[in-house]
Chain A
């Protein structure tokens, strides 16, 4: 049955249906519907809900129940996610599965409470200290939010690795019909590493501290091997009209919805616009972008930031074609008209530019 829910509520319900029974949070706009929903639902399913005294406390509580083998989650928005970075690094270093939701708002600093995609670097390049990665998933609708939260728990258990859902204020606040139909995978590895009481077995140790010379390097080699495996198996993206496209748009989340509209509007014209929407931001879908870059005139990356994911696009393209950027910051959401104007600006052919301008006027 379909329900009309906000992205925040859909994320919370999906987590509960995925078997999450430990949630710790600290209020911050624009993700308060999530923590609010959890405060009602967790007691109903016999789970644990704690409104922690701070974001740092919340992420540390995640560390505790994840170490004991429970499906654990926390959520926040940009400034709160910054506070959690130490804990995230420890979770990655201790190889603990968990899900962290970031409903991004404007920054830097306290910023504002409107939608933003300016935490991309923080999410995919580490954020905390040390050579680590979280798997980063980017939903662009309320339904996809629910689906990805499900998958996030399975992926985190499968790889013993934290997974971050990178949403934004618009996805969090937006209400859309959503259906909960996914089921937990049943071929996940047993959590025989977890701290459940050592009676009758060898004790388990969860740690991220390797003071003996050589041990830490060995552990890092193990992590890197795991990350390589994740890169080989977990890359996800949506590709639209990529064959025969003259220009490719690359965008995720809320920006991708706007780019989809541009692709749709352009279908009636000769100049072909296609798009790639990364669903996993780490691992980044670099292979498809590399392949595309050999065929198209240019690529345009659209973000609600001053230009962050565009760096990963450029790394994938390796100068095979020009990579342009259009972004809005501080709560600005690009419109399809703005994106079309940018395309007009970067397309060298005047004839094409003229048809595109006509296209821009199509409502």
Chain B
């Protein structure tokens, strides 16, 4: 089993955390995992992209040439990375911010993540809404496996971030 995921969005939309949760869940379940962030000379409002590979076998190059899944948060990211998705791949997109022209063959999950997160009271959790939608579609990990990692990452942080992130994850799962 090998799953190659490209995650992309505006800097600040939380793609880094989304990928990290998946990567850590993969690590503790004994899978091989590589997680490679873009660190280019980026400009404000530009796209941040992450290459995440989860596999039951040794991973060689951490760079993805052809993705099984593309998770995108905004229009520029979709435009920039749609070509990297393989013909029968999975496209999970934030339909609050992306207008989709026909993208044939691929399996598409439209998630109004920004809208859902706003309703929950914090737009910053739109990434976790997307994660919920991805989880229920590909079923690589359970919600609890992700929540375990979220607890670890949020340890020591102020406020009740866990509760709202949990809500966001559940909303994402229900959105599908």
Contacts and interface: CB of A to CB of B under 8 A. Distances in A.
A363 B64 CA distance: 12
Interface string B29-41: 0000111110111
Interface residues of B, number: 20
A266 interface: no
A113 interface: yes
B83 interface: no
Contact of B40 (A113, A174, A177, A258): A113
Interface in B50-81: 58, 60-63, 65-66
15 contacts: A4-B20, A4-B24, A4-B33, A29-B39, A173-B37, A174-B36, A174-B62, A175-B20, A176-B35, A257-B61, A261-B61, A264-B60, A335-B61, A335-B65, A363-B66
B137 to A, nearest CB: 22
B60 A113 contact: no
Given A113-B41, A363-B66, A174 B34 contact: yes
A175 B36 contact: yes
Contacts, number: 53
B61 A4 contact: no
A170 B66 CA distance: 19
Given A4-B23, A174-B36, 8 more contacts: A2-B27, A113-B40, A175-B34, A175-B37, A176-B33, A260-B60, A261-B61, A333-B63
A30 B39 contact: yes
A65 interface: no
Interface residues of A, number: 22
A258 B65 CA distance: 13
B61 A174 contact: no
A174 B66 contact: no
Interface in B81-139: none
Interface of B: 20, 23-24, 27-28, 33-37, 39-41, 58, 60-63, 65-66
A4 B22 CA distance: 11
Interface string A239-272: 0000000000000000001101100100000000
Interface string A188-204: 00000000000000000
Contacts of A363: 66
Given A4-B33, A113-B40, A175 B23 contact: yes
A102 interface: no
A167 to B, nearest CB: 14
A117 B61 CA distance: 16
Contact of A258 (B23, B34, B60): B60
A173 B61 contact: no
A359 to B, nearest CB: 15
Contacts of A2: 27-28
A60 interface: no
Contacts of A116: none
Nearest to A260: B60
Contacts of B23: 4, 175
Contacts of A170: 36, 62-63
